[in-house]
Structure 1
Amino acid sequence: MTTDAERFLDDFTQLSAFGATAAGGVERQAATAADGQSRAWLAAWLTGHGFTVAQDRIGNQFGLLEFRPDAPYVLAGSHLDSQPRGGRFDGAYGVLAAAHAADRLRAQVAATATVPPCNIAVVNWFNEEGSRFKPSMMGSGVFTGKLPLAGALVTADAAGVTVQEALAGIGGTGPDDVFGTDRTVSSYAEIHIEQGRELDKGGVTLGLVDATWAANKYEMAVIGAQSHTGATAMADRQDALYGAALVVVAVRELADRFGEELHTSCGQLTVHPNSPVVVAREVHLHLDLRSPSDELLVQADAELHRRLAEIEVKAGVQVQRRFAHTWKGQFYQPAGVALAGAVAADLGISQMLVQTRAGHDSTNMKDMVPTVMLFIPSVDGISHSEAEFTRDDDLCAGVDVLTETLARMVQGAL
């Protein structure tokens, strides 16, 4: 007889085939054909297991199980979209884990004929990754009112395709908000690979996320003057790419100065006109700074501003910057942390408190309703990479913990 764990792993293998890369990862950025295929597979799975499937106007996909009419919903899930040549576990594991956990609860309710006070729903949040459309966590941002729907729908990718157009291309929107006057969400749970190495390093199975790191994400433009790479005297050049290179180095040196309490990166760089015989006239960059300390992040931002002024003089360029997306470090509700900790203890699963350095949809949801965020180990902390890996035993243990956590949440434990 097939076990719950075997069924989960088989379904995860099927889900991982959509957008699969030769090196073992996935390529399914938001609202691409591969993302649409994974969404269609999820919808069929949910429908086949008794869920009602709905989509809202920003492309969030829900599977609803109603146990009691007019009762609030406990919501659980994550996201199916990926980074370019990303890992197959990031996000997708949390969606499928929530679906399996909710289905196990459906079977328990049917077997016992005991109707819980709350209903349950599974969610696949749209564009959590933010690789095709910025900002990240778009679907949950709109859902929680942090991002305006109208602005999100007209956001365009690098090719000029808007969110609205892309979602229409995969049949990814619905006619209503799904959760409005007729339905309410009482609490939220999400399980995710850690995308760090604390659990793996410590040999611990479950991370109880009690806090988020703060983050500043910047969109920058370095403006110079286009000229000939051979004929223009060095002293006369206003090389935007040189200025951008100095920015990249300055951001890394910020991390060196502040140590492990500050993570910095330049994740995207676009050069114009990007010709081999032309001094660049303009470069666009996407930077981020992250820290567990709001105060340190303020210091780092001030130091970055000072360094940018120096770079303008040194390279003869203009540096324009704006915040693309920011959030402060915040705590998850202690009651949710305690609930998940009690579940892990009852199941005999090792646990530890961890903070999330990455952004997740739960970082939006925790500001709306009581929220539980759980991690399972990432081998060597690798993520956003085809080399991302989590062991089967950890995947299955996570589903077990999530199932029991949701079982207590639908009984009103949060």
Structure 2
Amino acid sequence: MHQSLETELLRVDGVRLNAGLDRMAAIGTNPDGSVCRRGFTEQDVEARILLSGWMKDAGLEVRIDTAGNLIGRLEGAVPGLPALVTGSHIDTVPTGGRYDGVLGVLAGLEIARTLHRRGRSLQHPFEVIAFADEESTMVGCKGMSGTASCDPSSFVTSNGKPIQDNLSMIGGDWSNLASARRSDDAIAAFVELHVEQGGVLEQRGDVIGTVDGVVGQKRFTVVIEGQANHAGTTPMNDRLDALAAAARVVLAVEQMAVEHPGDPVATVGRLQVWPNAANVVPGSVQLTVDLRDLDSSVLDQLSNTLMNALERIGESSGCAIRLDPQFDVAPTPADQTVKQAITASAGALGLKTSSLPSRASHDAQEIGRRWPMGMIFVPSRDGLSHSAGEFTEASHCEAGTQVLLDTLLRLDRTL
């Protein structure tokens, strides 16, 4: 009875939460209503200063680590325990939405405010983190988990400036980046609230998504070499049409994902055609293939299927086809204990819930490589994200934040 009463007495303030989302969205608003708050810009710095002040007012001790992460901490009632951590990011893509990333940060802030208002603390330390530059370099979460490259040239920043200068701008320190790596016993669990950025929950009629994990990604560049020639004077049976071969590759990529017994996704997202003229048989094509799934073995199977398909298409078309790997990111499964706590918390609140993978990358993907991780999704209207059309109901933002709070309370009692 005491445990359920304890949860019942701690209720987040949805009005305050959504007012904070409105205030943060005003920093970097574009004329079309989207938000441009790129990492390491004046808008990013302005938002970080605002958030830092809110954190201090909520009773959190605030610091910036060498990876540029803005961290607010409330000490726990039991000395020596690792921290329960939540958070996300406040930077955006050039035409971002009002909720992507920032909801997870302000939800953590709202929990800190709720605890502060009631004069409460957890047994564990509680931390709220705004990770640095998630939409571009992910230097913040990678620096904290210890997976960040030590080569500054490997960080391609959105403003084109060296990562060293960018980190200095927000209070980080590239020369001591390694010190941002937290120890194994620093974190008990990490739970991130995020908008789904897809339409699954809305289609199912669910309010809460319990995330199975963040998918891995394999990305390739496919180079197809044919022979450019006159479109009028070259008979069809004498052509080495690189674009016709590329069209077969696009369909093969779609087919292999649709026919796979699991639920992977495969995408050709970019095509470059040379010489790209109306009266010339295309002589060369480059295209990208993006493969995503929660199971590494499925990604390997898809990669092998792709290579076999390219070999067949090359032989039948007469074009030379080359597959160049771009990157390979391993999936990060959610921790079962954290997942169960999320599901139980949503169920206790009477919220319709289902499980789904995250097919977009998040800070949780890197943090979950070191510590127990879980994610909570709330619906995105029409599945829209990274645009002015991104929208999540105020009631769903509040519900997700309440589930996050109750999940942290459950983990505080059980871990």
TM bucket by the smaller chain? 0.7 to 0.9
Structure 2: distance between partners of 1:45 and 1:232: 70
Cα distance in 2 for partners of 1:148, 1:213 equals 18
TM-score, normalising length: structure 1? 0.80
Shift of 1:237: 9.5
Q: 1:46–1:63: 8 Å Cα contact kept in structure 2?
A: yes
Contact 1:243 1:317 in 2 (8 A): no
- Structure 2 CA distance for aligned equivalents of residues 103 and 271 of structure 1: 54
Aligned-partner Cα distance in 2 for 1:238–1:95: 53
The SS at the match of 1:118 is: coil
Following superposition of structure 1 onto structure 2, how do residues 333-352 of structure 1 map, counting pairs within 5 Å? 333-352=335-354
* 1:370 partnered with 2:379: no
Q: Distance in 2 between matches of 1:74 and 1:321?
A: 41
Equivalent residue number for residue 64 of structure 1: 73
Deviation at 1:389, TM superposition (A): 1.4
The gaps in structure 2 that reach 5 residues or longer are 1-11
Post-superposition Cα deviations, 1:220-271, rounded to whole Å, max 9, x if no partner, equal 2637599899999899998887776665454334334448823122345677
Q: Distance in 2 between matches of 1:288 and 1:37?
A: 35
- Counterpart Cα distance in 2 of 1:44 and 1:348: 35
Partners of 2:161 and 2:246 in 1: CA distance: 27
- 1:128 aligns to 2:134 (yes or no): yes
CA contact (8 A) 2:265 2:291 kept: yes
* Superposition deviation, residue 84 in structure 1: 3.4
**Contact in 2 for aligned 1:154/1:162 (Cα 8 Å):** no
Aligned partner letter, 1:85: T
Q: 1:179 to 1:63 in 2, by over 3 A?
A: farther
Give percent identity, aligned residues only: 31
Q: Say yes or no: does 1:45 pair with 2:54.
A: yes
Provide the residue aligned with 1:254 in structure 2: 256
**Does the aligned pair in 2 maintain the 1:50–1:65 contact within 8 Å?**
yes
The one-letter code of the counterpart of 1:360 is H
Report the number of matched residues. 399
Q: CA deviation at 1:309?
A: 3.5
Amino acid at match of 2:164: Q
- Give ranges in structure 1 of 5+ residues lacking alignment: none
Compare 393-402 and 297-306 and name the one that shifted more: 297-306
Q: Which residue of 2 aligns with 1:28?
A: 37
- Which residue pairs with 1:85 in the alignment? 95
Quick one: which amino acid aligns to residue 106 of structure 1?
Answer: H
Distance 1:373 1:283, change over 3 A: same
Show CA shifts across 1:256-310 (max 9, x none). Answer: 4448823122345677899999999987654311235544433321121123345
Tell me which of 104, 125, 128 is aligned to 2:114: 104
- Structure 2 counterpart of 1:15, one-letter code: M
Structure ID, larger Rg: 2
Match of 2:393 in 1: 391
* Closer/same/farther in 2, CA of residues 246 and 391 from structure 1, 3 Å limit: same
Which residue number in structure 1 is paired with residue 14 of structure 2?
A: 5
Deviations 1:47-98 (A, max 9, x none): 3333222223332221122245654211101122223323221211111111
1:195 aligns with 2:205: no
Choose which of 302, 305, 324 in structure 2 pairs with 1:321.
324
Q: Which amino acid aligns with 1:321?
A: D
Contact persistence 2:224–2:246 (CA under 8 A): no
CA–CA distance in structure 2, aligned partners of residues 302 and 264 of structure 1: 13
| Aligned-pair CA distance for 1:191 | 0.9
